[in-house]
Each structure stands twice: as structure tokens, then as C-alpha cells.
Amino acid sequence: MVSPPAATVRQVLASGALREAVLIGGKRGLDAAVSDIVLRSRVDARTPPDRGAAVVLDAARIGDNLYQVDVALRVISGAGAVALIVVNPDPEIDMGAQRLANRLGVPLAVVTGADVIALTYRLRAEFWAPDVEHVAEVHRLLASLRQMRVADPEAFVELLSAAAHTPVCLIGQDRRPVAGAGIEIGERRLAGAEDYLVDHSARAALHSASIVLAPGEHVSYWLVAESLRSGSSQRLLRSLLQVGSWYLAALLGSGRVRAERDARRRIAVLNEIMHAGEVPERDVQSQLVELGWSASGWNTGLHIKLRGPADPGRIVDLHAEMSDRLAAAGIEGPLVERNDGWSGWMTDAAEPPPESYSLVLENLDVALAGFSAAHSGLQAHGGIGRPYPDLTGLRRSLIEAAEAAVIANARTHEPSGVAHIDRLGVQRVLLGWFSSDDFTSYAGSVLEPVLEMDTEGDLLETLEAYLDASCSTTGAAHRLGVHRNTVSNRVRRVADVLGIRLDDPEVRLSLQLACRVLRINR
């Protein structure tokens, strides 16, 4: 259904078709919005015009019964219509009708010596012309899609930009461009899961149409465009972005289905590796070969743990990017989706020397730092295991890598970080606590009074920073970017709420571990 043009009575009366028209009353209603232009031989309460309609009245049909002009004005006002254009009245309309138009705020215009049918046709043609072109533009886009069978998001966004006559951009959950010209979103609002939104907080209006790949999921992408224009141009942009969002939802959704199918195959093989002995090694090796993988040699496992808004669907979506970033950093090998991120490994013909561990660690750090910088709100921490030979050794290295990733996640507040199992030393003692359900439950119960009152998370963040800084208010203040008196006040509040003394080393250790566990599991 085509949206009605956003024209006003003033704009309709300025039409070339009404060059000879004279406005004789109702100026107060000139800025009312017009939804349609209709021709009537009479206007009465039994068949009132639609809301927003401008009525063209053929006065030749009413003869000298000019009281019907008064009736028409009252019916138009009561129905929410917006104007009355009287064509060829004879005799002239009297002052009573003009005063009534002024009182009701219904613009009353008179046209003489005109063909009422031709006049109405021309008015409607001019009025609907932008939306006729609007429909034609949408039709051209659909025809192009049918003919070209566009399967690449970048090519589609380019086609959409040409149709809209303005740059269009596809952005992801982190508000960064995925395809098309970059548009600075900033803090402007975007459409919800089933919405179309126009944000007017900046000079250029920001239009956004959401893309949800599967029912019940959060928004995965948005199509966005900026516009300084109004009226039909804004409506055309809305239609194009909505059509585009539906097309991309189907296109990206089908890509997601293929990616999930491939992911399930990768995950199945990794599960067989991790449960060595349940499946004959020969069968596992055969499946590795089918995927183009190898575990014949010395295998170094790695694990990447994600924190932030990353459900399994998004991990699948980000798989190709993470693979490319690792390859660019010199880390070549299989990468498999997990519930919390990815696992993978590198295979060498000979045992890698211990001095090579630093280079692998550095390369992984570079890859994860770049990834986190590109995805606001996502944190990526990686762990690397020792190299071991063949499938049995690969399983052991992957377990070590997952352990190292937990420690890397726990020991830093940065958005990315890495750890090598061989360099953790005594820190591995903490792993049992960090990965224990019992200790997680304990941590939650110990800090529950703080969590209940700490709606913004400032108290818990300050407590952890204070303990990590060896109870230095200055060090904690520097890390948090606040005054040290603020740190002192917050720490005092925590101590009062928990009923503890922070000068007790055992209390400090327990709280520090509890804070770490809660941060890992948030």
C-alpha cells in the first residue's frame, strides 16, 4: 500500500491547476496535511469524505442551492477532511459561507470557468506524481534483482544506493560498516527488531531498517542511510530500505544456514578429537582429510574466548573474519566454533622449539587486538597450549589452550589478551577456582549484597581495581579515571555493606578471587 503524499493544503492550492483559484476563507487550516483529492457533486453526512481529503465540489450540480456549501463545510470539518474547492459556483458564494469557513478553519477556495473533471484529474496527477515515481523506482529495483540475481551484500548495497540516490550502508551489531559507504552512526538510535526508525537528532535524518536472521534473535544488521530531503524522497528511501532489509535477511540468512551446516561438521570432528578412543583414529583422520585438515605432526592448540554480546549464531557469523585475522597474523590451521568462542590448532612437521612460543603468542595477541578494536563490546582472550604429536597430543594441547584462555580472561581488564600454558606457572593453581561451579556460586553469594545495590556496576569494578592495585587508592583511581577520594568512598561502602575488614589478607584474597570469577562469568 502506497503511503499518502505528505502535502499541505497550502501546497495543493499553489498547484498550477489552481492558478485561477481564489481563497475566500479558512486560512487557519492551510497547513493541514492532505491525504487525497476527491471529486464530489455534493457532500453530505451520509457519505462523508475520508480524513485528510481535499474535496473538489462541482457547483454546477447544486445550482443555486448554495446552502449546500455550508453543509459541505460542516461535514468536511466533522469528518476530518481538510479543504473545500468549489468549481463554477453560480451565483457567487455569500459571506455566510466565508465566515463559516473561517470559524471551522476549513480552507474554502473558488475556481470559475474551469472543466471540473479535467481540473480534478490534473490535481490528482500532480499530487500523486512523486508516489507514482516512488512505486516505479521500487519496481525497477525489484526488476534489477530478478534479472541480476544479486548474491553479494556489497553489490546489493551499491544497487540500493543507486536507486535511493543517496549512500546506503549495511552495518553490524557493533555499528561498523559491513558493506557500502561508511556512515557515522554515533549515539543515534537504530530500529528495533521489527521496526523502521528515523532519527532526527542530527542535521541529516538517519533512516534505519533492522535485519533479523532468525525468529527470536536479536537484530544482526541494519541498513542505514542519511537524508536531508523530505516528503516523497523520505518515503521512497523508507520503501527501498525496507525492501532491502527483507532481501538481505533472506540472503544473509541463507548464508547463515550454510555456515551453520559447515560449522556443525567442524564441531562434530573436533568433538571426536576431544573424545579420543570413542571413535577409531583412522575414521577421525579420514574426516580431517575430507575437511582439508591435518593432525599428523606436532600440534599446538589454541582457544579464543569471547565475552560480550556473542551468541552461537554470531560466533558462526564471525568465523570467517577470525580465520582471516589469524591467517594474516601468520597463524594457519583449522578453526572451529565453540559455545564461548573458537578452538583451533597449528600443525608442524617437527617439534617447535620453546623460543618460538613468544612469536606465536605475539601473533595471536595482534590478531585478537585487531578483532576487539573492530567490534565494540566484544572482548577476545586467547590461550595457547604446548605442542604435542598426533591426535592424542592435539587433544591435550587443546585442553591446555582452553585453560590458558580462562587465565588470560581473568588476569586482565583489557578487551583482548593472550596466555601460553607454559608461562602461567603458579597461576594454573587458580584455574580450579575460576572454573569451579562451587566457587562461582560462593562468589555470587559473598558479593550478593553489593550486586543488589550496585545497579551501575561501579562498586564492584572499584573493589576489583582496588584489590588488584594492592589496596592502593591512587593506583585504582588512575586505572578507573576517577579521584582517589571516590575510590575510598566506594571501598568504604562495600566494606560496610559486606560487614568486613579489608585489612585482613585472607578476606582480601577471597574477595579478589570472587571478583575475578564474577567478571569471567558476566
187-220: per-residue pLDDT in tens?
899 998 878 898 888 888 899 999 988 887 888 8
pLDDT at 436 over 60: no
pLDDT of residue 102: 95
Of residues 516 and 105, which shows the higher confidence score?
A: 105
Helix (H, G, I), strand (E, B) or coil at 99: helix
Answer for the pair 407, 413: CB distance below 8 angstroms, yes or no: no
366-415: per-residue pLDDT in tens?
999 999 998 888 899 999 999 999 888 999 999 999 988 888 887 667 88
- The grid cell for 317 is 557469523
> What are the angstrom distances between the C-alpha of 476 and each of 159, 463, 479, 488, 505?
52, 9, 5, 10, 18
pLDDT of residue 4: 46
- The grid cell for 241 is 530500505
> What are the angstrom distances between the C-alpha of 111 and each of 13, 52, 75, 87, 121?
11, 21, 21, 5, 15
pLDDT at 175 over 90: no
Mean pLDDT, all residues of the chain: 86
pLDDT of residue 335: 95
pLDDT of residue 440: 66
Of 104-113, 139-148, 274-283, 312-321, the range with the lowest mean pLDDT is 274-283
Q: Which residues lie closer than 8 Å to 82 by C-beta, 6 or more apart?
A: 9, 29, 32, 33, 34, 52, 53, 54, 76, 106, 107
71-109: per-residue pLDDT in tens?
999 999 999 999 999 999 888 888 999 999 999 999 999
Q: What is the dihedral of CA 80, 82, 85, 91, to 10 degrees?
A: 60
pLDDT of residue 209: 93
**DSSP assignment letter at 204:** S
> What are the angstrom distances between the C-alpha of 120 and each of 68, 80, 176?
20, 20, 49
> Does the pTM of the predicted model rise above 0.85?
no
> Whose CA is closest to 245, among 192, 321, 312, 318?
192
pLDDT of residue 325: 95
DSSP letter for each residue of 136-202: HHHHHHHHHHHHH----HHHHHHHHHHHHTS-EEEEETTS-EEEES----TT-----TT-EEEE-SS
Query: At residue 224, what is the residue type?
Result: V
Q: How far apart are CA 63 and CA 56, in angstroms?
A: 16
pLDDT of residue 239: 86
pLDDT of residue 438: 57
pLDDT at 307 over 50: yes
Q: How far apart are CA 69 and CA 62, in angstroms?
A: 9
Percentage of the chain modeled with pLDDT above 70: 92
Answer for the pair 305, 380: CB distance below 8 angstroms, yes or no: yes
Note the maximum CA span of the chain.
108
Of 371-385, 440-454, 459-473, the range with the lowest mean pLDDT is 440-454
Residue 432's pLDDT band (cuts 50, 70, 90): low
- Which residues are paired to 227 by β-bridges? 205
Of 56-60, 303-307, 458-462, 517-521, the range with the lowest mean pLDDT is 517-521
Of residues 350 and 92, which shows the higher confidence score?
A: 350
- The grid cell for 284 is 577421525
Of residues 453 and 277, which shows the higher confidence score?
A: 453
Domains of the chain: 7-127 (3.40.1390.20), 150-252 (3.30.450.40), 275-428 (3.30.70), 437-521 (1.10.10.2840)
